[in-house]
Structures are given as structure tokens and as C-alpha cells.
Chain A
């Protein structure tokens, strides 16, 4: 008995260690740069640590205004301790996600063991989670949905216990469900829809244990009240309005052929939503491009690896046929989990589906067990060797490809969208800013066209460790959306108009090659910042004296 426990612990430790390695290895270098969201969370945590207020001067905020997208607060607060320990560094910002991603593995193991009571399922499931491309990718960036994904496992696990009628689990489940909603935007929609559907199918149990369910609902409502307040009065509902499906370009341009402005348009919107929803079950998305890690999204990585196709297909049948505890809850988890992303107008994002990954992994695990059963039933040794050889070769090739996508293609092809170069720009400014009266940074950049807009001030605040108390109180000048402009201290963030701006003296200019004349006439280049793929990201220049 003892030996068995030690073996289990050892195996789970090895899987976790391997998963941790995939998540922590070169975490500050890949993805190649912190993105705007990560910096915003990091600086907000730094600001709270130093002053007790966020960068806007709000004491212990329930919602982080950030750059107007009103972020959920949990990650911001989680970052305070790492920032305190490691300082305001790239590692500190990415540390919580990598840690959560790593610890999700043994937790998922325990979850599977508790629900299925079979070690085999728990081992395979946790191994699949350890190497899952989606989970690995989002464990390497400060991404709130990954943390929410772990809370959802806790919440649903407790909910399953709650169905057995234990009072304590009502509190635990309600706590984690609401905590999830404070953590990431997608669960704000997922949780209410899931809870409603789960309660609906649990009516017989609900009737038996109505007191426990009442406690659950009341706890959810009480804990959720501050969130309702922030949504209605503090602007955190803004994000939802911005990204709702009615603004989808494809819907407006190709389907409705006008702006959504009347109730008569609802039927088409409904069918468009259904199309979006069902589209998440498309093999291309699941196996090839959900992560958008390569430029053309071709042969990238998805929610699962390509070698999971037969496992998933078999797993679906095994899942339907087999007696599985809380099967209905798993089905609802999967089906309602897609709702949040399906009603947004953005490109389909694998990241917003991270909370349904456990269900997909469970199905794949069941599929693997069925496939092994079928394989063992084969009588011909030759056939067994042939099938095993072919499949394992395929697995190895796909894993090599995944390694290359992570380590080579992604930094080469997507570093631009991670604003690579702005860190180096900030470090340059840090060293040389005393020589200039004003520093102007162009917010537009891009190799093929100046089509990407970033927020360089986030990088500057972060890497200069700009004093939060000063930032909160000093005067700032902001422009409008049609005339982007942001200025504080000696820093100006706007579009560079070289013929006019080049007349300024004692001014340092930073911009992509698009910000300056193509022949660089009248431009004195002080430094050039390159992307991983060798393209020029930024020039740091001053006007050439005639």
C-alpha cells in the first residue's frame, strides 16, 4: 500500500516536473517580449506595492482601468508578491502563471483520481495536461484566463461534491466560481451560464438538498455583488460592449450588409452566432491554429496536437457510451465553455477556451484507453508493430514540430505582435534620457505596414521603474482616438510627423522605419533595434543638423 502511494507520488512528481520545465524554461525570452497586458498588470502591482494605489491613484481597486479595457483584478493582486520578491522584472510578471500552470498538473491528477477513481486515467490526463500546447503557451505569459481555468476546476470539483449534498462544498464552489469571475473576462459569462444549466439538470438533487443549493446561490450572489457594482458603475462592462458579436466585421460587411441597428436583424445574428459556436468544433481550429503562433496560422498549434485526432474521435464515443460520474456536468462544462468566446467579435482565440481544456483532455484520455484496448485486441504481431511504429513516428514528428513552433517560428513570426523592441527602447531611454528635453515615441509600428498600435508608455513605466507616486499625481495630456497623443514628464507618445517634428531641438525620436523618410535623409540614427527575425523594429534617432 505504502509502496503504491510512493510510486504514485513519484510519477506525479515527474509529470509535474516535466510540465514545470516546459513552463519555466527560458520563460523571460519566449514569448520574446512582455506584451501590453502583462506590463499593465505588472506596473499596477508595483504601484499598489509602493503606494497602495493603482497607477490611476485608486486605492486597492476592484477593477484595473489599465489602458481603458478595465482588467479583472485577481492577477494584478497575485503579482504583488512576486514583484516584491523578484523586483519589477519580466520573470516576476510571468512567474504566477508558470507556477499556476505547473501546479495545475498535480491538482488535475487529484481531480481525475477523485472523480474517476482510476489512477490510469489520472496519470494519462495529467500527462496530457503537462504537454498540452494551449496550457504550456498560456503558462508562459501573464494571462488571467489560465489562472481562472484552475479556479474553475476547483469550482466544478466542489460543485460535483455539492451534488452529494455537503454544505461545506456549497461555500467552496460558490467562492471559486465568483473568484473565477473576478479573474478573467470569459468566465464572467461562462460561470452564470454554466451554473444555470448545471442547476437545471440537477433539479431532482436540488429538490432533495434545496438548503445546500440555497446556500450556494446566496454565497454566489453576495460574493458577486462587488463585481456587479464594478460592471455597472466602474466601467468594467465597457469591454463587453466593445467586443460583442454585433460589431463583427464579417457579420456587418458580408452578412447583414449594414450596421446592426434593429430587432429585425436578430434572426441573422442568432444564426451567425450559431455558426461561430459550432466553428469551435472545427478540426483546423482544434488541431492546427487555435494558438495563432505562426503568421499564416497554417501548421501552427491548436488546443490539441494533431496526433490526438484518433484519440479525440474515439474518446467522444467512449465518453458517450461509458458510465462516467457527473457526465452531464462535463457536457455542460464543454458546451457552455464556448459561449463567451463565441459571442465576441474577435478572431477565435484558443486562450479564451482554456477553461474547457480539462474536459477535452478527459475525452482524449478516454480515447487513448479505448485505442489501447483495441490495440491489445489485435492478434497479428506484425499489424501491432506496424500500427505502433507508424503512430509513434507520427507523434514524434508532431512533437518536434511543436518544439520548433515554440522555440523558432513563434519568436520569428510573432515577436512583432508582442511589441518586441520596446524593452530595448526603454532601456536606451533609461540610459540616455538626461541628454534630451523631450522624447517622442511613435505608437505605430509594423514591418509590412505601420498597422500595429502599441502603448510604449507601459514599457517605459515598467522598465524605468517609474515612480508610481509621481505617475499617479503628475499632469498628463491625452489626445483623442482620432488624434492619439499622450504626454507626461518629458515623454510624448504620438504619431511622428517627421517634416514638422524634425525641426525640434534636444528631442529624441523613436519609431519604426515607417516614421521616418524612406531614404533616412535628415535622420541621424543613434541606435537600431531589431526583431528576432532580423527586421528593423525601431530606429532611435535625432534630426541631422544641416
Chain B
């Protein structure tokens, strides 16, 4: 038993090393490209610039891997729990963002700690759970305007769906509510700064194309004597709603996760997650969707695509990385069930195809990063090495 645990720790350490090397490999080849640093919300409100150094983001990236394993241990037994961090370790998505020093890697870390704390609270480990819950949720709320909304909403849903008994979390919620008073106070005191922060974060409505389209459509309809119909069905409010609906669905389709359609850091041809994982993902998604319990989690977790929905681009892979753990868990869910059914010929073939594709694409991607990624970056951005949000 002891031996098995030691082995698992060794494997975890190996995964950390692989992840670190992958990040370093990417960093070395696309150096000195990095994302524009983002301020912590609380510091922004009081007018102090506070950026997280890239080294810290890299460490937090590794921390994500460890917390993913800790969470995974609660759902999958033994070695199977290592599949989640293994996929994370070789996922270009997190590695690219870590290499480029993305603020959302830090937010993802907070989200991981927060999720782990909820699991601990649910399972009755109240002391450690409470400490992690308060530390992560408060840091998250004080760091990001999105988390200011999403964390309380998530907690509310956890209570509403009875995922954690109310009595386990009631006191913590009260303490949490009490401890976020300072940020509310800061917001009220610095309303203009807060408005600026919100406007900088919620950029979906800044697209002039949408209003232009509405105006153009209404103008054309007016010329044809159909102004009323256009005002009814082609106004900017309806278009905003339609955009949000389409953007929301766009965040959740395979093309976003498994192909380079929405380019990592705006220029890369590396997919966020290797294509081979698409097969277990589809199976895992189906299994999760038909199971009423997992379906609840699926609904709840889609909250974390909201920051990407509210970005200017159709998909912001930078922001959507908050959803990466959900995708990985769905993949692993599907993978493990496929393993259980591996005696079936078709499943065996699909599993083999999956592995072959992952390994093949990993090799192709490594070679591609080495030979073309820097050139692609330069052909997109010239010599501007610091890029703004995707």
C-alpha cells in the first residue's frame, strides 16, 4: 500500500517535471512574448499597480497541477487520479498561458483551491476546508471583478443544489460575507475606478460592428418600408442577446478546445488540448449529461465560461482557461469509462486511435513550436512582444 503511494508521488513529481519542461520549452521558443500584465482588482481600486511576476505565475501553474490531482483523488482511485494532472501537464493551453505569464493562471489556481476547499467541506474536513475556502474565495474576490460575482454565485448554487449541506457551510458564508465588506466599501468609494475596471473587463459590448449592423439593417429596412419590423427584430438589444447566446454556446463546443481555431496567444497553431482527447471528451460529456448529478455540476461549471463570453473576441482562451479543469475532468470521465468497456472492439479501436492521435500530435506540435511558432508570432505582431488580452 505504502509502496503504491510512493509510486504515485513519484509519478506526480514526474508530471510536475514534464509540465515544467513543457512550459520552459514553450517559453524558450516563443521568448520574449508575454501577455500584458493585469492588475489585482483591489489594488486597482486604490490606485496602486500590483502585477504578479511571471515566476509566481509559473509556480501557480504547477500548483494547479497539484490541486487538480488532489481534487481528482476524490473522484478517481489510485493511478486513475493521475490522469487528470497528466492531461493538464501536456496541455498546451495552460502551458502557453503560463509561459506568457497570464493573470488567469493565477485565477485558475484560486479556483482550484476554492473547489478543493468545497470538496473538503462537503466531506467533513472542516478546519482545512474552511481555511482554504476563506483564503481562496477572498483572494479571488479581491483580485478579479468576475470572481466578485462568480464566487458568491457559485456558493449560492452549491447551496441551492444541495451539493454541500447548508449547515456545513453556513458559518463560512457569513464570515465570507463579512470579510468582503472592505471591497464593497472600496467599490463604493471609488465608483469611477470600478466603472473603468468593469468596462475594461466586459468588452463584449464594445464591438462597434454590432451596433453598425443594427443601424445598417434598420436603414435598409426603412428604405423598403419595413422599418417597424426591423426595429422589432433587428435592434441592438436583441442582437446583444443573440450574440451572448451564440458566444455562450461557442465556449462549449469541441472546436474551441481541440483545434487551433481560436489561436492561443492570438497567433499559435497549437491546439489548446490535443485532438486525440476529443473522443473520450465526447463520451464523457454524454455520460455527464445523462446523469442528473453530474449534469448539475456541468450546468454550474459553465459559470466559469462567463469571463470569456464577456470578452470582445468570440473566444478568449486566456479567460476560458478557467473552464479547462472541467474539460479535463470530462475527458478523464470518458476515458475511464472507455477503459472499463475496452473489451468491445469499437471502444478498443477508439481508445487506440485516441492515444495514437495524442502522441502523434504531441510530436508534431513540439516540432512545430520549435520551427514555426516564433515566425508566426512575428508575422502577426511584428516586433511587439507584449500582447494584450486575447
Contact = CB atoms under 8 A, between A and B. Distances in A.
A254 B379 contact: yes
A404 interface: yes
A404 B379 contact: no
Interface in A237-281: 253-255, 257, 267-268, 271, 274-275, 278-279, 281
Contacts of B275: 271, 274
A287 B246 contact: yes
A342 to B, nearest CB: 12
Interface residues of B, number: 44
Interface string A435-448: 00000000000000
B213 A298 contact: yes
Contacts of A401: 233-234
A275 B255 contact: yes
Contact of B250 (A267, A284, A298): A284
A284 B289 contact: no
Interface string A442-470: 00000000000000000000000000000
Contacts of A288: 242, 246
Interface in A411-441: 412-413
A412 B379 contact: no
A321 B246 contact: no
Given A257-B379, A284-B250, A296-B209, A267 B217 contact: no
A343 to B, nearest CB: 16
B25 interface: no
Given A257-B376, A398-B233, A408 B213 contact: no
Given A257-B379, A268-B368, A283-B249, A400 B260 contact: no
Contacts of B355: none
Contacts of B79: none
A299 interface: yes
A218 interface: no
A257 B373 CA distance: 10
Contacts of A294: 213
Given A278-B259, A284-B246, A404 B217 contact: yes
A403 interface: yes
A481 interface: no
A309 interface: yes
A298 B289 contact: no
A282 interface: yes
B259 A254 contact: no
B255 A278 contact: yes
A396 B258 CA distance: 35
Given A257-B375, A283-B253, A275 B261 contact: yes
A271 B364 contact: yes
Contact of A408 (B221, B250, B376): B221
B46 interface: no
A174 interface: no
A267 B233 contact: no
Interface stretch (B95-103, B143-151, B223-231): B223-231
A413 B219 CA distance: 12
Nearest to A256: B372
Interface string B136-170: 00000000000000000000000000000000000
B243 to A, nearest CB: 9
A257 B376 CA distance: 8
Nearest to B207: A298
A332 to B, nearest CB: 14
B290 interface: yes
Nearest to B225: A408
Contacts of A298: 209-210, 213
20 contacts: A255-B269, A257-B376, A268-B269, A271-B259, A271-B271, A278-B278, A281-B255, A283-B253, A309-B245, A317-B289, A321-B290, A397-B233, A397-B238, A400-B229, A400-B233, A404-B230, A407-B226, A408-B220, A409-B217, A409-B221
Nearest 3 pairs of A and B residues by beta carbon: A275-B259, A400-B233, A283-B249
Given A268-B368, A274-B275, A281-B253, 17 more contacts: A255-B372, A257-B372, A267-B360, A268-B269, A275-B261, A278-B278, A281-B254, A283-B246, A283-B250, A296-B209, A298-B210, A299-B213, A317-B289, A321-B290, A403-B229, A408-B226, A413-B220
